[in-house]
């Protein structure tokens, strides 16, 4: 079953662009990794979201993810309350929402696009 992880960070002043650049275009070879997003959540704060084919794939990749974190640790501030420089959570998907409606809307547009393309070919 699909799983996600989310990790919250606070970047030290002057390191925001370097932190963004360190994530931009990364192509990790984690088995079962379906993609990731870096989200700017506020001044100096970010969240990384990762999507995985299964929770086990995520668990198996944790040692490598810690290695990547170690490369960036000097850019991060301690979050306090005993968290260190990250606030990670992860788990399996238990419900989806909103996706089916968007998919239906896109499917309705496809026949109209095909018809328009056929009309262009005739002209």
Digit-coded pLDDT (tens) for 21-43: 999 977 777 899 999 999 999 99
pTM: 0.75
Which helix (H) or strand (E) is 50 found in, with range? Answer: strand 45-52
Range with lowest mean pLDDT among 19-23, 88-92, 102-106: 102-106
Q: What is the pLDDT of residue 60?
A: 95
Domains of the chain: 3-96 (3.30.70.100)
Is the pLDDT confidence value at 7 over 80?
Answer: yes
**pLDDT at residue 107, rounded to an integer:** 65
Q: What is the pLDDT of residue 26?
A: 75
Q: Which of 99, 11, 90, 14 is nearest to 56 (CA)?
A: 90
């Amino acid at each position: 079953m699909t799983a996600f992880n989310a990790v919250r960070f606070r970047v030290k002043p002057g390191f925001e662009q370097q932190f963004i650049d360190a994530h931009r275009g990364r192509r990790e070879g984690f088995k079962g990794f379906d993609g990731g997003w870096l989200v700017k959540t506020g001044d100096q704060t970010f969240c990384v979201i990762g999507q995985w084919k299964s929770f086990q794939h995520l668990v198996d990749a944790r040692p490598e993810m810690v290695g990547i974190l170690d490369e960036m640790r000097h850019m991060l501030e301690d979050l306090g309350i005993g968290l260190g420089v990250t606030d990670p959570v992860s788990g399996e998907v238990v419900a989806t929402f909103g996706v089916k409606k968007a998919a239906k809307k896109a499917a309705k547009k496809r026949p109209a696009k095909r018809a328009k393309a056929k009309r262009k070919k005739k002209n």
